[in-house]
Amino acid sequence: MRIALLEDDPDQVAILTLWLEHSEHTVAAFGNGSDFLRNVRRDSYDLYILDWMLPDMSGLDVLARLRGELKIFTPVLIATVKNEERNVVQALETGADDYLVKPMRQRELLARVNALLRRAGGGRPPEESLHAEPYLLDTQKKQAALNGESITLTSREFDLATFFFRNAGRVVSRAHILEAIWGIENSGITTRTVDTHISRLRKKMQLNEANGWKLSAIYQHGYRLERTDVNEQQQEAH
């Protein structure tokens, strides 16, 4: 999974990156809140780990911006030497999902990271099928259907469709898509390749308002798959 780490201590960055990458996560590290916020405006991650005490603004200030101004609800783990109950309460009330006191221990950090990813839907094992009316994705056979009718997709297109439905409602960056679908080791893939595949997927799966879904390009950010019939569903529920 993709993790953004906000930490100004180079030694901490080195050890946390080592631990996380050894557990097959990808880490993007930032030394101050300004650089971090600038990046998350255009890129997307599965988890944020934020130090509290930073040179330009506090980790809680960054968290407040994420939850308030930017409307980003990606899971957040606060890591700090502050260990009083009032600090924990303040962090959780600001929007943190978990809190870890430094010095951090490897196994505890990884356990908390994995728990947050599972809770957010990131670390779960693949389902046998993913049902998002009127679509059905059989993740074992890599087959897709619309209203019971089979849709012919390449293996890459199927992986892309599954990724979007699992992240429905979220804006995901092109870099995130490249990493999740093509693998970060494949440096020959360009963002133009992503755009071409998404355009093809949109047409093949008929992701349009008639079928209750829309796959849109978000300027300078990436893409978002979202339902277009939410209001109708809510009215029917009442």
On the question of pLDDT at 232 being above 80, the answer is no
Domains and CATH numbers, the chain: 2-121 (3.40.50.2300), 129-227 (1.10.10.10)
Confidence band, pLDDT 50/70/90 cuts, at residue 234: very low
- 92: three-class secondary structure by DSSP: helix
What average pLDDT does range 125-130 have in this prediction? 68
pLDDT digits (tens, 9 = 90+) for 137-182: 998 899 999 999 999 999 999 999 999 999 999 999 999 999 889 8
Q: What is the pTM of this model?
A: 0.77
Joined together, the tokens standing for residue 217 give: 């390009």
On the question of pLDDT at 185 being above 90, the answer is no
**In the chain, which ranges are E strands?**
2-6, 26-30, 47-51, 76-80, 98-101, 129-132, 135-138, 143-146, 149-151, 171-173, 213-218, 222-227
